[in-house]
Chain A
Amino acid sequence: MKDSILDLLSKDARISAAEVAVRIGVTEAKVNELIKELEADNIIKGYKVIINEEALNENIVRALIEVKITPERGGGFDRAAKRICRFPEVTDCYLISGDYDLRLEVKGNSLRDVAAFVSEKLSTIDGVISTATLFLLKKYKESGKILEEEEEYERLKISP
């Protein structure tokens, strides 16, 4: 039942408990109780909006940054990663396999903003060996959602 609730909420976080209740066939109170549990268990971390920034016409600049780090004995990459995560410019941070260690997504108001963050903040952190910045040119899909949907194809109104 929790799976169904998570499924519905991940498609539309604004769906009401009453509606979830109707769809999965339990009471509203039960749905509220289960959502509370999911939140308490740290499974639901928050409720977020997917914004098509291009449509907003705001000149937000995003970049992916690959970061190479010297791991520490005991802590591995955790300490450096946690420190990097504290910067509000960093919207996502992953430890990855391959040539680099961390992959960040960074957000700024201009190219210069992002460049300054990389050269002044990120690269000066202890343990950061090198960085590679890849500016995002266009976003096609985010969190499973295609941002510019094509026009819908219309089927017949009546069929057997």
Chain B
Amino acid sequence: MKDSKFPHNKIAEHIRKIPRSGIREFFELVIGCDDVISLGVGEPDFVTPWTIRESAIYSLDQGHTSYTSNQGLLSLRREICNYVNKDFGVAYVPETECLVTVGVSEALDLAMRALVNPGDEVIYSEPCYVSYGAEIQMVHGVPVVIENTAETEFSLDIEQLKAKITPKTKILMLNFPCNPTGATLDLRQLEEISRIAVKHDLIVFTDEIYSELSYVKRLPTIASFPGMRERTVFLHGFSKAFAMTGFRIGYACGPAEIIAAMNKIHQYTILCAPIMAQEAAEEALKNGAEPMEKMRREYQQRRNFMVGGLNKIGLKCIKPKGAFYLFPSIKSTGLTSMDFAKRLLDEQKVAVVPGTAFGSCGEGYIRCCYAASYEELAEAMKRIETFVENLKK
């Protein structure tokens, strides 16, 4: 960037203020390395189930290459609303309360842009997915951070939430099961959060992208709690549960007024999600339950394997109830997260993501994704053990 003659101050001020993504920085280091075993990804290692891929091929075969309605294919929205009702316990109207987007990222962006006025405060919790803070800044909102800790197993710290609410607080952003910690909320927390949201008239965004990957009985979404349906934007997609990251299909369900406002932005910026991906998503909801359950069971077994392994070598790690991430503490090694990740890559060729990429309270932790084959996980564990042993010398 230094070589360019373009004056930096011409870049919009609020964009300039957004810090460079920590994950991006680390990604560039890994790119130059061969034979790396990666626990650094944020996506399933499974290829999309064949029945879903085949329907995308069929879609092209049939010459379905046009735009769809801005909101997405009505047949897909019907399947989505049916699924959300059955599996998450809230009934939405496909015609007015559901919008198909290009991944959950777009849905989140639309929801932010539709609801945040400059200066509105948005509360979210770290460690979290890399985009939340930046997303709030991009819409001129004020990010307000709750720092979750290992003491509460990285679940939402409700005392902090209460303390951070001001008259300017407009939105509470939730993501459980959580990337990067795998943390989940329990029933008591869901009840308490909804009581707080109703009391302070907050809008709640719930990013449920990892919901299907729950290893305990899954609870209904917060949108189904008393007084919540009219104030919740339910964000979900196909990437994780159906291993469809590259298809880029997400969706938002919520009150018709919010969905209409989001669609206003969506129609002018994106127009619509790609039709072949939408048709594949429809197939996922119709016939993808079985392959999804198989993948979920596989992740669960890998989690058991990895949690045991990490704890044995002294990288303390809770057993998360969801997603496909572990967030072990590396404090016992005395290294910073970035040093640990860099040296592990350098000395043993294993890629993990430093916890600080997900917020400053991620210092002292690394994110290990167990969406990799057993052979890779076993080899990675061996190498991490050697690395930790060498540090002690």
A residues bordering B, Cβ < 8 Å? 4, 7-8, 22-25, 153, 155-160
In the complex, chain B residues whose CB is within 8 Å of the CB of A158? 23, 26-27, 30, 38, 40-41, 351, 353
In the complex, chain B residues whose CB is within 8 Å of the CB of A22? 304-305, 308
In the complex, chain A residues whose CB is within 8 Å of the CB of B353? 158
How long is the Cα–Cα vector from A160 to B358 in the complex, in angstroms?
9
How long is the Cα–Cα vector from A157 to B34 in the complex, in angstroms?
11
Q: Which residue of A lies closest to B301 (CB)?
A: A23
Show 5 A/B contacts (Cβ-Cβ < 8 Å), sorted by A: A156-B41, A157-B36, A157-B41, A159-B42, A160-B129
- Knowing A4-B297, A153-B47, the reply to whether A159 touches B41 (Cβ < 8 A) is yes
Q: Which residue of A lies closest to B38 (CB)?
A: A157
> B124 to chain A: closest CB distance in Å?
15
In the complex, chain B residues whose CB is within 8 Å of the CB of A153? 47
Indicate which residue in B27, B41, B351 contacts A155 across the interface (CB closer than 8 Å): B41
How long is the Cα–Cα vector from A23 to B30 in the complex, in angstroms?
29
In the complex, chain A residues whose CB is within 8 Å of the CB of B43? 155, 159
In the complex, chain A residues whose CB is within 8 Å of the CB of B23? 158-160
Q: Which positions 7-34 of chain B face chain A at CB distance < 8 Å?
A: 21, 23, 26-27, 30-31
Q: Which residue of B lies closest to A25 (CB)?
A: B304
> A120 to chain B: closest CB distance in Å?
44
In the complex, chain A residues whose CB is within 8 Å of the CB of B305? 22-23
> B209 to chain A: closest CB distance in Å?
12
In the complex, chain B residues whose CB is within 8 Å of the CB of A157? 27, 30-31, 36, 38, 40-41, 351
In the complex, chain B residues whose CB is within 8 Å of the CB of A23? 301-302, 304-305
Chain B 316-357 interface mask (CB, 8 Å, partner A; 1/0): 000000000000000000000000000000000001010000
How long is the Cα–Cα vector from A119 to B365 in the complex, in angstroms?
72
> A153 to chain B: closest CB distance in Å?
7
How long is the Cα–Cα vector from A153 to B53 in the complex, in angstroms?
15
Q: Which positions 292-313 of chain B face chain A at CB distance < 8 Å?
A: 297, 301-302, 304-305, 308
In the complex, chain A residues whose CB is within 8 Å of the CB of B75? none
